[in-house]
A = this chain, B = another copy of it.
Amino acid sequence: MEKVKVISYGMGAVGGFIAKFLLEKEGVEIVGAVDVAKDKVGKDLGEVLDLKRKVGIKISESIESALQKTKADIAIHTTSSFLKDTYPQIASILKQGVNVISTCEELSYPYGSEPKLAEQLDALAKKHDATVLGTGINPGFLMDTLAITLTSACEKIERIEVTRVMNAGTRRVPFQKKIGAGLTVEEFQKKISEKNITGHVGLEQSISMIASALAWKLDKIVVQSVEPVIAKKTVESKDIKVNAGKVAGLKQKAKGIMENREVINLDFQAYIGAEEEYDSITIKGVPNINQKIQPCVHGDIGTVAVVVNAIPRVINAPAGLYTMKDMPVPSATPEDIRKYIKTV
């Protein structure tokens, strides 16, 4: 079997991490790269990734242009969190008959927030015999797929609580900026109102995915507003010092309500100085299940893993739009990635 041919669509931080990993990974080759940023188009992938070498692939401005000289099996798409923004890009890839895995948070479970776009993507994928999946570490795994998986050990379920607490002090600077670390509360609120800080995108999608897996018809999903976490004492990391009273990061909760009961509760916290970092899932039911991953799974590494590990599954799947809950049990691909691809 030939190597799996990948188009790297999106040269931001996450797209870069995935591309670097793919350049090392056995059984796969990057055959093209796309970014809309004028200052990246035309440059060699190696330069854009800050490698010390040229890769021999120039950044294209569109999927059509990237595919002029090559075929591709799949595109890894990493440009924006919102499906309204990414729809034209993902549609353009599907129209070329190329499979897509996207980190677009809203695509992880689009049937609630963007049902029409979801329907169109499914139709387009089927028309062009391609498969499209939205995934990542979160949404896509920690606060939805893993919680769903754990419910399978339960006879009855009353309530599901998922908490992710990250110490942003150990993360990259752009992430620290994204969560408002170091700002005053006023500055933080201003950035929120200007949508320069969006918090975590995906809580609504994770709740919808869990509810759908359990066939729960929720009355509503309440996504609370993003709130600052204020440093109680001065906290420091390698890159930043946050004085007491300043913003150390953010927190956000979301709830799924059914028959006037809160049946799903997601709690996301990312701030500098978090003393305990963890991902926990608590199921109240028969039996109760208390699960904890400690420390929490690193977001960037986890997203690279979940996305790349999904490549063979997406290639194996029938055409159409999928979410993680409808795919086979996910797993790592530590060997040559071709070993995970079904040959019929």
Q: Are A305 and B154 in contact (CB under 8 A)?
A: yes
Contact B293 A293 (CB under 8 A): no
Cα-based distance from A216 to B340 in the complex (angstroms): 11
A325-B334 contact given A153-B306, A155-B304, A292-B292, CB 8 Å threshold: no
The range of chain A's interface size is: 35 or more
A residues with a Cβ closer than 8 A to B are 21, 137, 141-142, 145-146, 148-157, 213-216, 285-287, 289-295, 297-298, 301-302, 304-306, 308-310, 324-335, 339-340
Copies in the complex: 2
A331 touches which of B214, B298, B306 (Cβ 8 Å): B214
Complex Cα spacing A332 to B295, Å: 27
Evaluate contact between B141 and A152: CB separation under 8 angstroms. yes
The residue of chain B having its C-beta at the shortest distance from the C-beta of A137 within the complex is B153
**Contacts A/B (CB < 8 Å), 20 sampled:** A137-B153, A142-B153, A151-B332, A152-B309, A152-B332, A153-B305, A154-B332, A156-B332, A214-B335, A286-B301, A287-B298, A289-B297, A290-B293, A290-B294, A291-B293, A324-B329, A325-B329, A327-B328, A327-B329, A329-B329
CA distance A156 to B293 in the complex (A): 18
In contact, B290 and A151 (Cβ under 8 angstroms): no
Q: Are B301 and A155 in contact (CB under 8 A)?
A: yes
Residues of chain B lying within 8 A (CB to CB) of residue A142: 153
Q: Which 8 A-B pairs have the closest CB atoms?
A: A152-B330, A151-B332, A215-B339, A213-B331, A215-B335, A155-B305, A148-B331, A157-B334
Enumerate chain B residues within 8 angstroms of A149, measured Cβ to Cβ.
145-146, 149, 329-331
Task: State whether B329 touches A148 (Cβ < 8 A).
Answer: yes
**8 other contacts beyond A153-B305, A153-B306, with CB at 8 A cut-off?**
A146-B149, A152-B310, A153-B302, A214-B333, A214-B334, A215-B335, A325-B329, A328-B329
Residue of B with least CB distance to A329:
B325
Chain B residue nearest in CB terms to A160? B332
- Of A213, A216, A339, chain B has the most CB atoms within 10 Å of the CB of A213
